[in-house]
Amino acid sequence: MLTEAATEATAVDEKRPSKLLNRNYVLLWQGQTVSRLGNQAFSIALALWIKQATGSATLMGLILMFSALPAVLLGPLAGAVADRYKRRTIIILSDLIGGVSVLVLAGVMLAAPEATNLTLAVLFAVSILLAVITTFFHPAIAAAIPDLVPEDHLSSANALGQVSFQLTVFIGQGIGGTLYRILGAPILFLIDGLTYLFSAVSESFITIPQTVPEKIPGWRETLRAFKKDIILGFRYVWHKPGLRELVFISALLNFFLAPILLLLPFYVEDFLRVKPDWYGFLLASYGLGSMLGFVLAGALPLSGRKRSRLIVWFIIVEPLGYIALGVWLNPWVALGMTLIGGLIGGFVMVYVTTILQLTTPGDIRGRVFGLLGTLAGALTPLAMGAAGIIADLTGQNIPLIYIACGVIAALLAVLVSLKSDFRDYLAYEK
């Protein structure tokens, strides 16, 4: 006889759709796409307004640093919340709160355009609030998608999501500066707030199958339950063969990628000796490569050992591109390397996300993705800070840093790839 939990789990499976572009997934995808366009408007308006209003790079750095902290501090808790409460509610509330907060910022700027200090205070508060919301939003989305699409189309669903992200970055970066010049920061913030609300409305028509644990009476009992959930999430990752190695190598590869991106403006002007326009060209090339990787992963139905071998090969080859950037100081070589690097990164991201979603039980999926967000969030700011210090200590010898990052990352990738548990995990088949 089935237990009540097993009955609920069976009901969730029975609600799984039979096609990829079903009503629930399309509504979620369109809402995220519109909201991401608004996010690009917010990011560009924030950077340009602070530069024009204050001229302070330190202030910009502080806002970006504090915006990275919520993912580090709240990631495990956000994952536990995604497993204990309705993911649909978390997703809708996140967009509603984000929309209202950005609209308040736009209202302050429109009502008091000369009150720079007041605007800075509100901008700082809204940036932190949006970072907190994003920390809770992402695990809920990652945990929900496997229940919105057929299992054999999960990689395609993840690929479509990443294509949406890269397209909005392309469009936002391409026209954001022009829109800022024509419309100004308050109007761009207003647009961003409205896109959040559009996304919330779109998501309100979605049904997300989920088995939700029983509510716990009392705040002390709730805190104990969250503590237990978080510990269980850490234990699950640590004791899952192959998953621990995947988390380890993913975090470290991100750590060594961060200096590449941070020092890219210095690399372009001081070593490639080309116009600053090439900084944008290289970023666009990486973004184009990422989109190609997403599309390739979604269209190429790899499974089992073939998928495992290709992912292993890719994570070893990608750091070699960092070495190439340091050895061949040629803008066209750099353009090719960033294109290939983006393609590899996009391809691996889609398949790794899909494997994580398939192998992780639904009732703990949010905690696993929250933990991943914490590790990535903790190491990336550390890598950026260390890269700046090392760059100054080496007389800004950026090619040397690129080569060192590539060599260390490639060696780590080779060492992890030698573990059979890691290769078996990447070869997972139901």
- CATH number of the domain enclosing 300: 1.20.1250.20
229 and 154 in a single domain? The answer is: no
Q: What is the pLDDT of residue 97?
A: 95
430 residues of the chain, pLDDT tens digit each: 334 434 444 444 555 677 888 889 899 998 888 888 888 778 777 777 877 777 665 666 577 667 777 777 777 788 878 888 888 999 999 999 999 999 999 999 999 888 888 988 999 899 889 989 988 898 888 888 888 888 878 878 887 887 787 778 767 666 766 777 788 889 989 998 999 999 999 999 998 887 777 666 665 676 777 677 777 777 887 888 888 888 888 888 888 887 887 777 778 878 888 876 677 678 778 878 888 888 888 777 777 888 899 999 999 998 998 899 999 999 999 999 989 988 998 888 888 888 888 888 877 777 777 777 777 666 776 776 677 778 778 888 889 989 999 999 999 999 999 989 889 888 887 7
65 and 139 in a single domain? The answer is: yes
User: Does 166 map to a domain?
Assistant: yes
Name the residue among 171, 167, 54, 37 with its Cα closest to residue 121. 54
382 and 422 in a single domain? The answer is: yes
Task: State phi, psi for 418 to the nearest 5 degrees.
Answer: -75, -15
The pLDDT tens digits for 11-22 are: 445 556 778 888
Domain boundary among 214, 239, 264: 214
- Are 376 and 304 contacting, i.e. CB atoms less than 8 angstroms apart? no
Residue whose structure tokens are 């509603």: 96
Q: What is the pLDDT of residue 4?
A: 40
80 and 109 in a single domain? The answer is: yes
199 and 231 in a single domain? The answer is: no
208 and 351 in a single domain? The answer is: no
Question: What does 87-148 look like in DSSP terms, one character per residue?
Answer: HHHHHHHHHHHHHHHHHHHHHHHHH-TT-HHHHHHHHHHHHHHHHHHHHHHHHHHHHHGGGT
User: Does 65 map to a domain?
Assistant: yes
Q: What is the pLDDT of residue 176?
A: 67
201 and 54 in a single domain? The answer is: yes
- Are 362 and 211 contacting, i.e. CB atoms less than 8 angstroms apart? yes
Q: What is the pLDDT of residue 177?
A: 67
108 and 140 in a single domain? The answer is: yes
Q: How far is CA 421 from the centre of its chain?
A: 26
Domain extent at residue 282: 224-426
Phi-psi region of 218 (alpha: psi -120 to 50; beta: other; left: phi over 0): left
Residue 304 and residue 5: Cα distance in Å, rounded?
A: 31
Residue 190 and residue 208: Cα distance in Å, rounded?
A: 30
Task: Give whole-number Cα distances, 48 to 52, 212, 381, in Å.
Answer: 6, 43, 22
Q: What is the pLDDT of residue 266?
A: 76
Q: What is the pLDDT of residue 17?
A: 77
Question: What does 286-328 look like in DSSP terms, one character per residue?
Answer: HHHHHHHHHHHHHH----HHHHHHHHHHHHHHHHHHHHHHHH-
200 and 265 in a single domain? The answer is: no
Q: What is the pLDDT of residue 383?
A: 75
The pLDDT tens digits for 315-363 are: 999 899 889 999 999 999 999 998 998 899 888 888 888 888 888 887 7
User: Does 97 map to a domain?
Assistant: yes
Domain boundary among 214, 243, 270: 214
Residue 80 and residue 107: Cα distance in Å, rounded?
A: 35
- Cα(first)–Cα(last) distance of the chain, in Å? 24
CA atoms lying within 13 Å on the CB side of residue 251: 19
239 and 356 in a single domain? The answer is: yes
The secondary structure element, H or E, covering residue 75 is helix 57-84
Give the type of residue at 80.
Answer: A
Which residues have a Cβ under 8 Å from the Cβ of 153 and sit 6 or more positions away?
19, 20
Q: How far is CA 35 from the centre of its chain?
A: 15
User: Does 219 map to a domain?
Assistant: no
Q: Which two tokens stand for residue 214?
A: 């029983």
Domain boundary among 192, 214, 236: 214
271 and 401 in a single domain? The answer is: yes
User: Does 137 map to a domain?
Assistant: yes
Q: What is the pLDDT of residue 2?
A: 35
The pLDDT tens digits for 264-297 are: 777 887 888 887 667 767 877 887 888 888 888 8
Percent of the chain that is helix, strand, coil (3-state, to 5): 85, 0, 15
Q: What is the pLDDT of residue 46?
A: 78
| The total number of structural domains that make up the chain | 2
43 and 149 in a single domain? The answer is: yes
